[in-house]
Structure 1
Amino acid sequence: MLNEKKRAELVAALLEAKRELDRLTLDEDMTEPPARPATENDIARFEKKCGFPLEPSYRAFLLMHDGWTDFDGDAAILGTRGSRENWFEETLEMVWEVFEDFGDENPAEDAIAVVLGEDTNNYLFMWPPALGGQATFKEYENGKLTREYRDFDEYLTEFLESLRHSIDVEREGADTDDEDSQ
């Protein structure tokens, strides 16, 4: 788990990378910064609703930023009030249908949505801690498990690497991995 300073640097790097990618792909910066911090009371209410304690790095992120509306296109990092958004319940219903039709497992019973969007096929859920362990983050695409993360910091770090790769591709005009394989 990152310390507070390293996490703040990671979030700043994410914001800058998102803005740079916007400038490269849209010729303007469309990225909004993450939300204001959650309070300890916000976290306590959220944990009560979840029924389990939040994973420490996700909790620390929420104390820095209570969500991030346009984190990945229309996908948001849901803060402590994420489930109160108008689109949330309808989107979650559609996601459950995808899991029922195509998914490996349906987190509807046990997990909480952490990253979710109205028009995205990628989502991140936090599963309750295993007996004596920590919560687990699982990322899905179209209902299929694509990756597991030991903590939220690892997820954010991987996302930053993905953004940087996209920036390189935009600058170079071609995917260097594709060129190497030819």
Structure 2
Amino acid sequence: MRAKGEPIMNDETFRALIVALRATLEKARTNKTNAAWPPPASDADIAAMEQRLHARVSPSYRRFLSMQDGWPDYAFGFTIVGTRVAAFETAMKDIALTVDSERDAWIDSHGEPTSEAVMQYEQAGDELNPNEADWCPYVPGKMHIATDFNGGLLFLDPERADADGEMEVFRWYADTGTQARFISFEAMLHADLAELGAAEQSRTCSD
């Protein structure tokens, strides 16, 4: 995991990280699919995605897309969407449903999500959730990049971006809120690889 201000990994080491995650996930699967990995996204693909989002994606998520355009069956049941709408239509629809439900619930509890109301909500935090003590994200306003099809989302937070454009990534669930936070998409990949590796080691020791 990089510290703030440090450069992100070069292409070679970033690709090695993705390859290591692929191998770890494949090893953990009981049903081997042998499915082809998504191809890289082109610069034009990523630009079109940013146009749909009306925002730039973070540098490490962009780098990921340039090597692998999305990730079906990612860690912890998530599907990370890529630039191709048709390929990830089901995941995108599920994300939209979860976000719409969260928006409705927020309005019921807090009223209309004006800029001022959202800012106050986020800055107030939530002392009941240690991962939201200093910052309670207004989920509908984030850049949603993955779903677990069961109320879980991964999203980038443009409000939590550093000078290089790297954004914090939240692993969030509709019923419990934020479960984990990472300083960047790259940091999330590192943390997930470590967690998956630890789980695999634990299984091996118990056998």
Structural mapping, 1:121-132, within 5 Å: 121-128=151-158
Structure 2 gaps of 5+ residues are 1-7, 110-125, 127-135
Runs of 4+ in 1 over 4 A off after TM superposition: 101-104, 129-132
Identity, % of aligned positions: 20
Structural mapping, 1:66-85, within 5 Å: 66-72=69-75, 74-82=77-85, 85=89
Structure-2 separation of matches of 1:166 and 1:19: 14
Structure-1 separation of matches of 2:40 and 2:96: 25
Alpha-carbon deviations, 1:162-181, whole Å to 9, x = none? 1101211221228xxxxxxx
Contact 1:96 1:106 survives alignment (8 Å): no
CA separation of 1:38 and 1:31: change in aligned 2, threshold 3 A = same
1:111 deviation in Å? Answer: 1.2
Asked whether 1:171 is paired with 2:204, we answer yes
Question: What one-letter code is carried by the residue in structure 1 that aligns with 2:49?
Answer: F
Q: TM-score, normalized by length of structure 2? A: 0.69
Asked whether 1:150 is paired with 2:150, we answer no
* Counterpart residue number, 1:178: none
Contact 2:24 2:196 survives alignment (8 Å): yes
* Counterpart residue number, 1:107: 139
Structure-2 separation of matches of 1:54 and 1:91: 17
1:130 deviation in Å? Answer: 5.4
CA separation of 1:91 and 1:51: change in aligned 2, threshold 3 A = closer
Alpha-carbon deviations, 1:108-165, whole Å to 9, x = none? 1x2121121323x432101225587323322213351122222111000111011101
Structural mapping, 1:78-97, within 5 Å: 78-82=81-85, 85-97=89-101
Number of matched residues?
168
For the aligned residue pairs, the C-alpha RMSD in angstroms reads 2.8
